[in-house]
Amino acid sequence: DAGITQSPRHKVTETGTPVTLRCHQTENHRYMYWYRQDPGHGLRLIHYSYGVKDTDKGEVSDGYSVSRSKTEDFLLTLESATSSQTSVYFCAIKYNTGELFFGEGSRLTVL
């Protein structure tokens, strides 16, 4: 157990509404990541963080923002959700050895 939890685990929302997903870790790791997983695309990096208030974009960052105000929490926000953002979102933390450990995922449906 890598001590990583995601919330909510499931959410249904309407187009145009804001959505925030939370990733919480208990092990004080520096690097945290948000991925989305879609059929045919595998896991794609949205944003990542390399420390408090330090974040950077991944390959599919458009339409998403992140914040990391404290080490243990990494928030992913969809300012105005669209149907194309229906997906399963995974948070991950990186150990010093380079290995990523994933949360259980947050399934988001945008109607």
Chain residues in the site for another protein (CB under 8 A): 31, 33, 40-45, 48, 50, 58-59, 90, 94, 97-105
Nearer of residues 79 and 104 to another protein, judged by Cβ: 104
Rounded to the nearest whole angstrom, what is the least distance from the CB of residue 62 to another protein in the complex?
A: 14
Give 54's contacts (C-beta < 8 A, 6+ positions apart): 68
Nearer of residues 11 and 79 to another protein, judged by Cβ: 11
Nearer of residues 5 and 67 to another protein, judged by Cβ: 5
Q: Torsion angle of alpha carbons 36, 78, 76, 57, nearest 10°?
A: 70
Rounded to the nearest whole angstrom, what is the least distance from the CB of residue 60 to another protein in the complex?
A: 9
C-alpha 104/C-alpha 18 separation (Å) is: 22
- Name residue 13's beta-bridge partners: 110
Under 8 Å between Cβ of 65 and 79: yes
Residues in the chain: 111
Rounded to the nearest whole angstrom, what is the least distance from the CB of residue 102 to another protein in the complex?
A: 4
Nearer of residues 76 and 103 to another protein, judged by Cβ: 103
